[in-house]
Amino acid sequence: MTHHFDDAISLAPQGEGVMTGATSPAYANFIGPYGGITAAQVLNAVLQDPRRVGDPVALTVNYAAALADGAFSAHARPARTNRSTQHWIVELRQGDETMIVATVMTAVRRDTWSGHEAHPPEVPPPADVPRTPRQRVEWLNRYDTRFITGLMPRHWEGQGGAESLTRLWVRDEPLRPLDFASLTAMADIFFPRLWLRRATQTPIGTVTMTVYYHTDAAQLAATGTDYLLAQAKGQGFRNGYFDHAGQLWNEAGELLATTHQAVYYKE
Amino acid sequence: MTHHFDDAISLAPQGEGVMTGATSPAYANFIGPYGGITAAQVLNAVLQDPRRVGDPVALTVNYAAALADGAFSAHARPARTNRSTQHWIVELRQGDETMIVATVMTAVRRDTWSGHEAHPPEVPPPADVPRTPRQRVEWLNRYDTRFITGLMPRHWEGQGGAESLTRLWVRDEPLRPLDFASLTAMADIFFPRLWLRRATQTPIGTVTMTVYYHTDAAQLAATGTDYLLAQAKGQGFRNGYFDHAGQLWNEAGELLATTHQAVYYKE
């Protein structure tokens, strides 16, 4: 039996630069799929392409329209290939309609001076943090999440705080060794920061997400099925759009990725 | 006489979705043009397109190759147009080669609940901060910059600090009223954060930059020729790539944009 996640991101080649896939009921959101699984599908279109040079450095996924449940085609084109770097344009389409527009940058990386500046905050270990109970929204059950601070509001009466910082432990449920695709999916683990600033239910949706990768296959393999510490905090909230900035570390405290997104809200 | 900046970003329509432009000697960097002016040219290809819906919400520019001095063509395609949002793919080409790959998201924005979370730090006013002297690199002379903290290193002996925070005041030189294009260019004002962590001269270059816009035409016009307070800080530095996160406020303390970028460094 394959893991839900591998099922969800699997793509069937249909000739150079074209693959087909489908949304996964296991990662269903309120409407359409979890944005993180879509980002992982986009990345996988590049990872599976035999023309690929190197590993992911940066990914930007623009959610142009809500994917309908069902099949899609992934169209990946290396717009520029250099000696050790490559710049991809990826589109997911349903019928003739473009639903997702993305860019992926890959590179063959070399050992250089390194020294992360975004250090993990001091937090209790996963075993000391209560696990989030089972949820009605299906994709949430694909993750073991343990919120340290910045939990989802319990009362929806419009109040909120001055800050939208969330920190949580997260890993796949059931367990699955971490790789670039699952790291990408987890970069979208954060519920909308707006809810911490103003607990009101309003139509909402990510319009663009960027992930910068600070890791490699060996470090991901060493991280394995450990929890990731995920942190995000809002920045600007104005006239229908807000953004947040986030970071993901492994249990050893190594920074694996940074991420940003802009999110639409109706009112 | 038009302003250097307007000259630099001007594009000549060549039929639907194609415009021609050229690099500007006034914004020359060590090699090729200042990345910020390239980002402004990309945005301008969308701003000038008669098919455009709304104002910029998000821009991601991937610097796939170093633009050669001279002419380029800009190819802009609205991959998806919704009722009030639009997702663009933009490429800059020289000859048959793609040099820049970008996405732009635009939207018609409505008045909603707003409340920025990224507040400006307390800093002295521009008049109390010394102006950076004239530089040999030409594009630096297109800006009046006043560094509050995190100045460029004076000695290149490899030492560096634990943090790469920079704060500076910046505006166009000569003065020019702020708009979406010039705000975009200023989002790339930061010298490489690596230099504050390790003052060594090594080949370096931005590979991707994202800007999220938290402003509108009226607020930009009200900001006019005031200085912007620009802040950036590095996050991950590992095996040839680092990233930073930044914010830009006007003198009134209003957040106008947030920005992130990933940067290549050779060693």
Per-residue pLDDT tens over the stretch B5-44: 999 999 999 999 999 999 999 999 998 999 999 999 999 9
Q: Higher pLDDT residue, B158 or A13? A: A13
Does residue B118 belong to any structural domain of this protein? no
Please determine, for residue B199, whether its predicted confidence score (pLDDT) is greater than 90: yes
Which has the closest alpha carbon to B188: B76, B100, B56, B59? B59
User: Residue B112 is nearest to which of A107, A111, A267, comparing CB atoms?
Assistant: A267
Interface test with A, best of B110, B208, B261 (most A CBs within 10 A): B208
Q: Is the pLDDT of residue A93 over 90?
A: yes
Is residue B114 in some structural domain?
Answer: no
pLDDT band at residue B159 using 50, 70 and 90 as cut-offs: confident
Among residues B236, B89, B267, the alpha carbon closest in space to that of A89 is found at B89
Considering the domain boundaries, does residue B117 fall inside one? no
Contacts of A97 in chain B (CB under 8 A): 80
Residue B113 belongs to some domain of the structure: no
Note the pLDDT tens digit of each residue in B172-185: 999 999 999 999 99
On whether the CB atoms of residues A11 and A48 are closer than 8 A, the answer is: yes
Predicted confidence (pLDDT) at residue A243 exceeds the cutoff of 90: yes
The alpha carbon of residue B146 and the mean position of all alpha carbons in its chain are separated, in whole angstroms, by 17
Domain count, chain A: 1
The secondary structure of A184-229 as a DSSP string is HHHTT-PPPTHHHH------EEEEEEEEEE---HHHHHHHTT--EE
Measure CB to CB from residue A236 to each of B99, B103, B214 and give the nearest one.
B214
Q: Mind listing the pLDDT tens digit for each residue in B128-157?
A: 999 999 989 999 999 999 999 999 998 898
Rounded mean pLDDT, A63-92: 98
pLDDT tens, A8-44?
Answer: 999 999 999 999 999 999 999 998 999 999 999 999 9
A115 within domain boundaries: no
Residues of A in Cβ contact (< 8 Å) with B265: 112
Of the candidates A85, A112, A212, which has its C-beta nearest B236's C-beta? Answer: A212
A177 found inside a domain: yes
Contact B60/A208, CB-based, under 8 Å?
yes
pLDDT over threshold 90, residue B210: yes
Q: What is the mean pLDDT of the segment spanning B211-221?
A: 98
Cα nearest neighbour of B254 on chain A: A236
C-alpha distances (whole Å) from B109 to each of A40, A265, B6, B167, B216 are 29, 10, 26, 30, 9
- Residue A240 is part of which domain span? 4-108+124-265
Tell me the average pLDDT of chain A.
97
Q: Which two tokens stand for residue B27?
A: 């914004």
Would you place residue B158 in the very low, low, confident or very high pLDDT band (cuts 50, 70, 90)? confident
Q: Mark yes or no for CB contact A245/B238 under 8 Å.
A: no
Domain membership of residue B178 (yes or no) is yes
Tell me which chain B residues have a C-beta less than 8 angstroms from the C-beta of A163.
117
pLDDT score at A142? 98
- pLDDT tens by residue, A185-197: 999 999 999 999 9
pLDDT tens-place string over residues B86-143: 999 999 999 999 999 999 999 999 999 999 999 999 999 999 999 999 989 999 999 9
CB interface of B with A, residues 4-43, below 8 Å: none
Q: Which of B97, B214, B262 is the closest to A238 by Cβ?
A: B214
Inspect the interface and report whether the beta carbons of A115 and B197 lie closer than 8 Å. Answer: yes
The complex's ipTM? Answer: 0.98
Q: Do B105 and A197 touch (CB under 8 A)?
A: no
Nearest to B237 among A116, A162, A257 (CB): A116
Query: What would the DSSP string read from start to end of chain B?
Result: ---HHHHHH--EE-STTEEEEE--GGGB-SSSB-HHHHHHHHHHHHHT-TT--SEEEEEEEEE-SPPPSSEEEEEEEEEEE-SSEEEEEEEEEETTEEEEEEEEEEE----------SPPPP---GGGSPPPPP-SSGGGGGEEEEEEE-PPPS--SS---S---EEEEEEESS-----HHHHHHHTT-PPPTHHHHS-----EEEEEEEEEE---HHHHHHHTT--EEEEEEEEEEETTEEEEEEEEEETT--EEEEEEEEEEE--
Q: Which residues pair with B211 in a beta bridge?
A: B59, B259
Inter-chain CB proximity B80 and A57 less than 8 Å: no
pLDDT at residue B167 in the model: 98
Confidence of residue B231 (pLDDT cuts 50, 70, 90): very high
| Chain B CB within 8 Å of residue A77 CB | no
What is the mean pLDDT of the segment spanning B64-71? 97
Mutate to test the interface with B, among A198, A208, A259, A266 (most CBs of B within 10 A): A208
Give pLDDT, residue A19: 98
Distance from CA of B4 to the nearest CA of A (A): 30
Cβ under 8 Å to B: A residues 83-142: 85, 87, 89, 91, 97-99, 101-103, 105, 107, 109-118
Please check the confidence at residue A182 and state whether its pLDDT lies above 90.
yes
- Selecting from A117, A162, A163 the residue whose C-beta is nearest the C-beta of B235 gives A117
Our measurement of the distance from residue A178's CA atom to the centroid of its chain's CA atoms, rounded to an integer in Å, reads 13
A231 — pLDDT class (breaks 50, 70, 90)? very high
Tokens standing for residue A115? 């020294």
* Interface contact flag, A57 B207, Cβ < 8 Å: yes
- B89: in domain: yes
Question: A244-254: per-residue pLDDT in tens?
Answer: 999 999 999 99
CA distance B72 to B267: 31
pLDDT of residue A261: 98
Extract the tokens encoding B155.
Answer: 């000695």
Give Cβ neighbours of residue B220 (< 8 Å, ≥ 6 apart): B177, B178, B179, B180, B183, B256
Q: Among partner residues A87, A117, A198, which is closest to B237 by beta-carbon distance?
A: A117
Average pLDDT over residues A155-167: 91
| pLDDT beyond 90 at A1 | no
Structure tokens at B135: 């530089």
pLDDT at A157 over 90: no
pLDDT score for A135: 87
Q: What CATH number did the domain enclosing A76 receive?
A: 2.40.160.210
Q: Which chain B residues have a beta carbon less than 8 Å from that of A243?
A: 212, 214, 258
Which residues 183-212 in chain A show a CB within 8 A of chain B?
193, 197-198, 207-208, 210, 212
